[in-house]
């Protein structure tokens, strides 16, 4: 085995392409996992080679150039959030059960964090988990759960100790979404789609073997999930090519559909192109600076800017379309089968509406500003009078 990490990755990639059966995506991805090319920065034996994350780009580019089978959108949460969480905090037994099918696509994941009474305040959640021998009995409600209707597993945080302060009484679980007592209901959005859901848990029994991290350590485990989520939404994982994404749609509309190209509109387009490019380059630099698998609070910068730039771009798109932006869109109720962060050419009517969620999902822009102020800039934090108070004694509306 070579000591050169780049050469090692290229040798493994050549073996994958030579031996893998591209007609069978699950088997192909299984071999990719076994060769350590799933997440190259993960430890050996768990889908990785223990290398710096930037080596993943060699793998991704090689697979893309050869037309190898890629992941579908429902695999997003497993690849970008559940995987790093399980490998960082899970036991070897849990890693063995969850990581490979997560990467092959046999298991799709969703996130079960937010609740009706605890959206931005994750530590205030009330979903209850009571220990019963080797199982936990879950009761509660989660909301804004993207693609939960097609997920087989859920990243669930529940309260296991109401006598502890709210950050200390949480525990993290890998929930079987098909377990008795789990009910997924659609939430229809302004676009007409039901990409989001609410999930009801009624005395759902979860094996203690599906617990991720120690009892009471759910907050710390959740921070791994959330930091990866913010970086991913912001574009820090696999930054897009120059001039692609939402800004490509704005340029297409300008070239193909705008009847009167005014200087003011052209200036808006150029300014947004510059902002999109600055964000893309920032994400590339952040990705190169990551020497471990879990990003820090700087991911909040990318997430915050992505939300604003994305909304501004799609607002420009509908302005350029003029009255035509008000017609030719189907608002009928339908179940979404993919994420709605960006859209294909011709989807700006939908994306103008969908982009409103960018400043809320994955942590609100207000929360991101707090994180940046406190953890990046070192500014004093806001007063937290309930930090040391037992959760059961914290006033709730």
Does residue 271 form part of some domain?
Answer: yes
Local structure of 112: helix, strand or coil: strand
Burial of 13 (0-12, 13-18, 19+ CB in 10 A): buried
Task: Write the CB contacts of 393 (distance below 8 Å, at least 6 apart in sequence).
Answer: none
Q: Which two tokens stand for residue 304?
A: 């915050």
Taking CA atoms, 136 is separated from 77, 141, 206, 316, in Å, by 24, 16, 5, 50
Q: Pick from 75, 104, 133: which residue ends a domain? A: 104
Let me know: does 94 contact 209? Beta carbons within 8 Å.
yes
Asked if 214 and 279 sit in the same domain, the reply is no
Q: Which domain holds residue 118?
A: 109-221
- CA proximity to 41, closest of 26, 27, 59: 59
Vertex 142, ends 237 and 207: CA angle to 5°?
85
Does residue 9 form part of some domain?
Answer: yes
Question: For position 295, what pLDDT does the model report?
Answer: 60
Asked if 236 and 371 sit in the same domain, the reply is yes
Local structure of 360: helix, strand or coil: coil
Listed in sequence order, the DSSP H helices in 235-262 are 246-256
Asked if 286 and 347 sit in the same domain, the reply is yes
Length of the chain, in residues? 397
Distance (Å, whole) CA 61 – CA 162 = 48
Does residue 396 form part of some domain?
Answer: no
Does residue 123 form part of some domain?
Answer: yes
Does residue 391 form part of some domain?
Answer: no
Q: Quickly list DSSP for 313-339.
A: HHHHHHHHHGGGGGSS-----EE--S-
Asked if 241 and 371 sit in the same domain, the reply is yes
- CA proximity to 276, closest of 235, 238, 315: 235
Asked if 216 and 234 sit in the same domain, the reply is no
**DSSP letter assigned to residue 376:** I
Local structure of 220: helix, strand or coil: helix
Distance (Å, whole) CA 83 – CA 109 = 10
Q: Which residue reads 């939404």 in tokens?
A: 233
Q: Which two tokens stand for residue 96?
A: 């063995």
Let me know: does 176 contact 212? Beta carbons within 8 Å.
no
CA 371 to chain centre: 18
Asked if 179 and 314 sit in the same domain, the reply is no
Asked if 119 and 81 sit in the same domain, the reply is no
Asked if 203 and 263 sit in the same domain, the reply is no
Per-residue pLDDT of the chain (397 residues; tens, 9 = 90+): 567 999 999 999 999 999 999 999 999 999 999 999 999 999 999 999 999 888 888 999 999 889 898 888 889 899 999 999 999 999 999 999 999 999 999 999 999 999 998 877 889 999 999 999 999 999 999 999 999 999 999 999 999 999 999 999 999 999 999 999 999 999 999 999 999 999 999 999 999 999 999 999 999 999 999 888 776 665 544 556 788 889 999 999 999 999 889 999 999 999 999 999 998 887 777 665 554 545 666 678 888 999 999 999 999 999 999 999 999 898 899 988 877 777 888 899 999 999 999 998 878 899 889 988 988 889 998 888 888 899 999 887 6
Question: For position 1, what pLDDT does the model report?
Answer: 56
Does residue 91 form part of some domain?
Answer: yes
Backbone dihedral angles phi then psi of residue 296, each to the nearest 5 degrees: -100, -165
Let me know: does 304 contact 279? Beta carbons within 8 Å.
no
Task: Please state the pTM of the whole predicted model.
Answer: 0.87
Q: Which residue reads 């959640």 in tokens?
A: 125
User: How many domains does the chain contain in total?
Assistant: 3
Provide the CATH number for the domain around residue 147: 2.40.110.10
Q: Pick from 62, 87, 104: which residue ends a domain? A: 104
Provide the CATH number for the domain around residue 79: 1.10.540
Distance (Å, whole) CA 237 – CA 100 = 20
Beta bridge partners of 396: none
The beta-strand segments (E) located in 21-168 are 109-112, 128-132, 135-143, 153-159
Question: For position 233, what pLDDT does the model report?
Answer: 67
Asked if 149 and 215 sit in the same domain, the reply is yes
Asked if 234 and 372 sit in the same domain, the reply is yes
Question: For position 236, what pLDDT does the model report?
Answer: 45
- CA proximity to 222, closest of 319, 125, 104: 125
Let me know: does 265 contact 258? Beta carbons within 8 Å.
yes
Does residue 114 form part of some domain?
Answer: yes
Angle between helices 299-321 and 218-234 (to 10 degrees): 40
Provide the CATH number for the domain around residue 250: 1.20.140.10
Asked if 58 and 123 sit in the same domain, the reply is no
- CA proximity to 349, closest of 376, 387, 319: 319
Q: Which conformational region is residue 295 in: left (phi greater than 0), alpha (psi within -120 to 50 degrees), or beta?
A: beta
CA 385 to chain centre: 31
- CA proximity to 157, closest of 105, 103, 89, 93: 89
Does residue 94 form part of some domain?
Answer: yes
Active site residues: 229
DSSP run (H or E) holding 206: strand 196-207
């Amino acid at each position: 085995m070579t000591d050169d990490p780049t050469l090692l990755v290229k040798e493994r990639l050549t073996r994958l392409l030579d031996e893998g059966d591209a007609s069978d995506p699950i088997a192909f991805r299984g071999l990719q996992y076994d060769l350590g090319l799933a997440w190259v920065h993960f430890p050996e034996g768990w889908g990785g080679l223990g290398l710096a994350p930037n080596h993943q780009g060699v793998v991704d580019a090689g697979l893309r150039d050869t037309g190898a089978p890629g992941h579908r959108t429902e695999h997003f949460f497993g690849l970008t959030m559940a995987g790093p969480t399980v490998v960082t905090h899970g036991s070897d037994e849990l890693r063995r059960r969850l990581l490979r099918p997560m990467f092959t696509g046999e298991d799709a994941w969703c996130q079960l964090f937010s609740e009706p009474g605890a959206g931005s305040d994750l530590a205030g959640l009330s979903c209850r988990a009571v220990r019963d021998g080797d199982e936990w009995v879950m009761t509660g409600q989660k909301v804004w759960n993207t693609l939960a209707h097609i997920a087989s597993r859920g990243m669930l945080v529940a309260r296991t100790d109401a006598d502890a302060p709210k950050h200390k009484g949480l525990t993290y679980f890998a929930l079987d979404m098909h377990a008795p007592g789990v009910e997924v209901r659609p939430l229809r959005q302004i676009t007409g789609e039901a990409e989001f859901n609410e999930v009801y848990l009624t005395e759902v029994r979860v094996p203690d073997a599906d617990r991720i991290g120690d009892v009471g350590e759910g907050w710390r485990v959740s921070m791994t999930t959330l930091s990866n989520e913010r970086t991913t939404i912001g574009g820090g994982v696999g930054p897009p090519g120059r001039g692609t994404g939402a800004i490509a749609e704005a340029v297409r509309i300008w070239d193909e559909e705008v009847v009167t190209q005014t200087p003011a509109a052209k200036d808006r387009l150029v300014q947004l192109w510059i902002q999109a490019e600055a964000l893309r380059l920032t994400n590339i630099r952040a990705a190169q600076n990551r020497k471990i698998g879990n990003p820090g609070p700087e991911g909040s910068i990318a997430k915050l800017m992505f939300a604003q730039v994305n909304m501004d771009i799609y607002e420009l798109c509908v302005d350029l379309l003029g009255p035509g932006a008000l017609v030719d869109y189907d608002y009928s109720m339908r179940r979404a089968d993919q994420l709605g962060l960006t859209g294909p050419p011709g989807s700006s009517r939908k994306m103008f509406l969908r982009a409103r969620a960018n400043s809320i999902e994955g942590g609100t822009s207000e929360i991101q500003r707090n994180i940046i102020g406190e953890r990046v800039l070192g500014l004093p934090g806001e007063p937290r009078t309930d930090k040391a108070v037992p959760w059961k004694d914290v006033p709730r509306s």
